Every structure is written in structure tokens, then in C-alpha cells.
Amino acid sequence: MTSTQAPATPERKFERSLLEAILEASPDGIFVVDDQGIILCHNQRLLEVFGIAPGAIAGGEDGDLAGLDDQNLLTQVLPLIHEPEPFLQRVMMLYADPLLEDHCELECRDGRTLERHSRALWGEDQCYVGRVWFFRDITARKRVEHALEQLAQHDPLTGAANRRHFFERAAEELARARRHGDALSLVMLDLDHFKRINDHWGHATGDRVLQAFAAGVRSLLRREDLFGRIGGEEFVVLLPATGLEGALPLAERLRRQTEGLDLEENGERVSVTTSAGVATLGAGDASTDALLQRADEALYAAKRAGRNRSFCQA
């Protein structure tokens, strides 16, 4: 811990020792300022959290920032924050109103996520005397949360959105299309004779086929498109701001991509094809189900016509 000097009475020595133990044992980077924004004390973890080298701040060459205006620290911190302007505005707001407390997450330019807490300090007469700030690196926790979210929303084998997540997102996209008067199309895909692949080659090969198919589909989609797995070998692609003139050619590209998959098992090529059904949002469609039903009808028309082809339903 670093801090301004205090009279060396036994009570002060004990208080200083206790404060030092608390600060330096904390996983948080902590610093305390007075009502004028002068740093009273801080721990070394503060510099570590922000990756600031000791001596990088003018006046604190020995790693001791006590006695410096916190603007010196702020000057070093701002370039590290992904969105510095909102960060600075919030800091100024907190200083301007001691009654405010803060608990938020900050994205850093290096990809890390920090958690920030701040609250005012009050004297015995309820007079504002300063503010304490806490910063903690929660990057590892956020990565775990993201991984769990991905598991909850995506099919673990293919990486496509799972059925529940797909329909949640599709409902949002349909509402957005209605609100803005945009087109919306859906492509339904079903791997032809997939049971034969499983029966002949085994389920491990079947899984490889599904993974290769899904990777091929994703390679042809835009960022805003939504790719989902809604059944064993049934997949669907939702295409925002896309009419039949864009959706049908895409379905053909997806079909050709699948037909061209280069998969082998024991030196023998595994033949893979897909049938596709395309539908676009109509004026009377109250939900995604109506769109999906028409795409499904087009898909089965393609299968009845011989498979490995694309049909559409307006």
C-alpha cells in the first residue's frame, strides 16, 4: 500500500498496518481520493489491473501515487478503455454527485473486461470527504459466462443455433421486419438420405458430415443471417432484409456447396446432397410458424421432385 504520511502514534501505526493489510490482500485495484480529487492511498494491484508500469505516472516514479491529483492516473487509464468518452463522462458525473454509487463493467482495448465499483466517503457530520474506487479484472469469468451462453444457445455438434434459440431470434427478426417494412426470407435445408449415411458408415461419419455441412453453410452466410438446427438433419437459415430474389440463389449456392463436399471414409467418397425449401414473409404471416410451414412445403416438393434441388413458396 502507498499513502500519505500520518503521525507515528501507536493508534495511527495500527490503523496504517490494518489498512495496508486490507488493501494489499484485496484482489481489487483500489484507490481513495479526498473531496478535491487528490489520491490519499492505493494498492499495487491498482497498477497491475490497468497494466501501468511503476514510474509511468509523473510524480509517482516510485509507484506511490499518494498526493497526486487523480487526473494523473486518469490520463494513463483513458487510452486503455474501449470507449473512453462514456467512461470519462461517468467519472465526472460521480465526482459531481456524491450521492451516486457505481457498479458497471468496462471493456478494455486489449480485450479484457473490468468491473468497477465506486461510492462516496462521508465524515461524521455527513460531510462528503472523498470517494473510493474498486477495479477488478473479470475477464476469466466473462469467458466462462460466454461459453455457457454458447452452450445454452447452440447445437454442440454443428455450432448452429439450437431450436429454442433460433425461434426466439426469428420472432425478434419478424417483429423488426414488420416494424420497418423489410423483407424476410427463410431457407429450410434437409440432408438427403442421411439415415443411409449413418446406417452404412456409422454415426461417427454421420457427425462428420453434419459438421462439414454446417461449416459450408456458414461460409456462405452474412453476419446478420441466422443459421439453426431444428432437427436431426434439418437446418434452417433466416435471411433478414432479403426477398425471394436473394433467398433462392442463396439456397442454390448452399445446395451446390453441399453437393461438392469432399468427404472420404476408408478411401471411399461419402456422397452428400441437400434439398432446400424457400419462403418469404407474407402480409398475413402472424408468426415465424407460417413462414416455416411454407418453406417446409417447398422443401418436401423438392424431395418429391427427386431431391438435391431448391424449390420456393412465395
Contact assessment for residue 42 and residue 49, using Cβ atoms and an 8 Å cutoff = no
Of 101, 105, 233, 297, which is the active-site residue? 233
Whole-angstrom Cα Rg for the chain? 30
In three-state secondary structure terms, 152 is helix
Alpha carbon distances (Å) from 137 to 26, 126, 272: 12, 32, 47
**Apex CA 116: angle with CA 123 and CA 110, to 5°?**
145
Residue 258, phi-psi category: left (phi > 0), alpha (psi -120 to 50), beta (remainder): alpha
What are φ and ψ of residue 134, in 5° steps? -125, 135
| Catalytic annotation present for 234 | no
| Side-chain-facing half-sphere of 247: CA atoms under 13 Å | 29
306: left (phi over 0), alpha (psi -120 to 50) or beta: left
Q: How many CB atoms lie within 10 A of CB 35?
A: 15
Count of CA atoms in the C-beta half-sphere (13 A) of 179: 7
Q: What are phi and psi of 57, to 5 degrees?
A: -100, 125
From residue 247, how far is each of 204, 210, 312 by CA, in Å?
32, 22, 9
Nearest to 80 by CA among 13, 7, 29: 29
* Residues acting as catalytic residues: 233
